[in-house]
Amino acid sequence: MESLPCKGCKGMCCGPVPITQQERVKIKKAIRKMPAKQRLELRNQERFPGTCIFFDERHDRCGIHSVRPSICKAFGFYKNLVCFKSPQTASTQKYEATEQPIGLLSVDFTWKDFD
Ligand code: SF4
Ligand code: SF4
């Protein structure tokens, strides 16, 4: 799969995203497994209002990359999830969630729900 030019974007597309119950559980497990120092460092970073609570500003990347929600994995690759920096990467297919979301990460679920 073609990759996206994410370095330097500083989480421009990382705002509140819908999550499913399964994703919530997976993220919670991963956060709990993080070394305390790393978890605190990620948790206490200053972020622009509206930026995802798990965006790692310091390293310019997703702080929970291996367990990020499926919509984050799909972003940039579907016609309804187009990356403005690389619109040609999107396919002509429409992304459709396979499971019903339980709410928005960063709005309905914040750090206190994960650690
Ligand atoms: S998906 Fe696009 S907008 Fe989002 S960080 Fe990557 S290049 Fe930037
Ligand atoms: S979970 Fe990761 S990829 Fe998804 S919006 Fe948050 S920081 Fe971005």
User: What is the block-wise mean pLDDT of the chain (115 residues), using blocks of 10 residues?
Assistant: 85 95 97 96 94 96 97 97 96 95 97 93
Number of Cβ within a 10 Å radius of residue 1: 7
Q: Is 64 in the pocket of ligand 1 (CB under 6 A)?
A: no
The bound ligand whose nearest atom lies closest to the alpha carbon of 81 is 1
Amino acid occupying residue 81: L
Element of type H or E holding 41? helix 36-43
Candidates 115, 97, 112, 77; CA nearest to 22 is 97
β-bridge partners, 19 = 103
Indicate which atom in ligand 1 lies nearest the CA of residue 13. 4
Tell me what pLDDT residue 1 has.
Answer: 58
Q: Which residues of 12-44 are buried (b: 16+ CB within 10 A; e: fewer)?
A: ebbbbbbbbeebbebbeebbeebeeeebeebbe
Q: 94: which residues sit within 8 A by CB, 6+ positions away?
A: 78, 79, 80
What residue spans define the domains of the chain? Answer: 17-113
Tell me what pLDDT residue 50 has.
Answer: 93
Tell me what pLDDT residue 115 has.
Answer: 82
Tell me what pLDDT residue 55 has.
Answer: 97
Tell me what pLDDT residue 92 has.
Answer: 97
Shortest-distance Cα residue to atom 5 of ligand 2: 14
Indicate which atom in ligand 1 lies nearest the CA of residue 75. 1
Tell me what pLDDT residue 108 has.
Answer: 97
As for ligand 2, residues whose beta carbon falls within 6 Å of it are 14, 17, 52, 54-55, 62, 64, 68-69, 72
Candidates 17, 1, 9, 14; CA nearest to 69 is 17
Q: Say how far apart CA 109 and CA 90 lie, in whole Å.
A: 29
